[in-house]
Amino acid sequence: MIQCEHRTPYLELVMEHIVFIFKLLWCFFREVASYILQTISPVYKDLSSDVILVTGAGNGIGRLMCLEFAKFCPNIIAVDKNEKGLLETSKLVHKETNIQIKVYVCDLRHKKAIDELSTSVLKEFGKVTVLVNNAGVMNAEFITDLTHDSIEDCFRVNVLSHIYLIQALLPSMINKIDENSSSGIPVKFRHPRGHIVCVSSVAGRVPLAGGADYCASKAAALLFSESLELELLKLGVDDEIRVTRVLPFLLNTDMFKGVTPKHPLLFPTVDAGYCAKRIVQSVRLNERVVYVSARYRILPILLILFPTKTIHCLYEYANTGMYVDQLKLYRKKVGAFSS
């Protein structure tokens, strides 16, 4: 009998494709099964010994997230440029949970301030195991009315602060404990462990007239977090360090005060308290992508399926072009807003 000493390149290519298809199907069905099981009987992650840092914690959903996280973890770090707002957050959390959170005043527009914040946090706590990049600004101006500084501030807070904080804190999540810290972090955490939350927006997937800089910054934050997830996969720590993308849109917070949707049943304004609880839940469940209102999930799909004029017709029906006009009118009455 004559035996082939080696496979032909064609046969090897076919075998490689077959193996890949089976692997792909296996991954798909395993993820579907895992999702179904988690929906039926959710298994929550223990956060009791974690160190959680939340930016934009001086008001809105940042403050409410600190309150919600404090129910599961005593080690909360609240960051904001507004010292008065941070103190109010601290008082609220202590009143409701008897937990004393740590507050840091930091202007996330400046890298030097972020570096100083990171150094102080790592010195005191050793590491941060949950980082919630929540701080954000929205100028609500048409592109011809935006100033150079306002555009830069939008990207500094909404994108660059995410990158700089992750650069500073991710190494401690991967494998390092600051030996000079006084944190007393349990030995069981001295291996890769972490969770990074990118609070983006539906506006990062769907454009908004009068919000070009905001939409672009939120889209950049989303794609950055998706790339980060792949880098963690390449490092082999994707199971230990998770990334969650959160996409809210209209919330009853200061940022969106004055906006009244034309069709609230289709485009609802979501309660900030619910949004905060949903974000904390997503961390405890290791979820990857969270649309705070499920109704907004279909919008990016419509952009792919429908041609341009049809999309424009949908925008006119939703009257989203009025959102920025409503915001500008409200802010003109009460003063400019940023967080």
**Contact criterion met (CB below 8 Å) for 324 and 211:** yes
In whole angstroms, give the CA distance from residue 54 to residue 76: 8
In whole angstroms, give the CA distance from residue 113 to residue 55: 13
Q: What is the pLDDT of residue 184?
A: 52
Bridge partners for 206 per DSSP: none
Residue that the structure tokens 């150079």 belong to:
148
Q: What is the CATH number of the domain that holds 230?
A: 3.40.50.720
Q: What is the pLDDT along the chain (339 residues), one digit of tens a residue?
A: 445 555 678 888 888 889 889 899 998 888 888 888 888 888 899 999 999 999 999 999 999 999 999 999 999 999 999 999 999 999 999 999 999 999 999 999 999 999 999 999 999 999 999 999 999 999 988 999 999 999 999 999 999 999 999 999 999 999 754 555 555 545 444 589 999 999 999 999 988 888 899 999 999 999 999 999 999 999 999 999 999 999 998 887 778 777 777 777 778 888 999 999 999 999 999 999 999 988 888 888 888 888 888 888 888 887 777 777 777 777 777 765 544
Q: Edge to edge, what strands does the sheet with 241-247 contain?
A: 102-105, 76-80, 52-55, 130-133, 194-199, 241-247, 289-291
pLDDT in tens, 241-252: 999 999 998 887
DSSP secondary structure string, 118-177?
Answer: HHHHHHHHS--SEEEE---------GGG--HHHHHHHHIIIIIHHHHHHHHHHHHHHT--
Q: What is the pLDDT of residue 295?
A: 83
Q: What is the pLDDT of residue 65?
A: 97
In whole angstroms, give the CA distance from residue 213 to residue 219: 10
Number of domains in the chain: 1
Helix orientation angle between 83-97 and 60-69, rounded to the nearest 10 degrees: 30
Range of the domain at 210: 45-334
- Alpha carbon distances (Å) from 10 to 4, 16, 148: 14, 10, 57
In a domain? residue 93:
yes
CA terminus-to-terminus distance, the chain: 78
Alpha-helical regions (H) of the chain? 9-40, 60-69, 83-97, 111-125, 148-155, 161-174, 212-235, 272-284, 298-305, 308-318, 321-334
In a domain? residue 152:
yes
In a domain? residue 339:
no
In a domain? residue 123:
yes
Q: What is the pLDDT of residue 259?
A: 78
- Alpha carbon distances (Å) from 264 to 52, 233, 268, 269, 302: 34, 40, 4, 7, 19
**Contact criterion met (CB below 8 Å) for 263 and 275:** no
Dihedrals phi, psi of 225, to nearest 5 degrees: -65, -35
Please name which of 124, 268, 102 lies closest in space to residue 184, comparing C-alpha atoms.
124
In a domain? residue 20:
no
In a domain? residue 231:
yes
**Contact criterion met (CB below 8 Å) for 53 and 128:** yes
**Contact criterion met (CB below 8 Å) for 257 and 208:** no
Q: Helix, strand or coil for residue 339? A: coil
In whole angstroms, give the CA distance from residue 203 to residue 248: 9
In a domain? residue 272:
yes
In a domain? residue 30:
no
Q: What is the pLDDT of residue 187?
A: 47
- Whole-prediction pTM value? 0.86
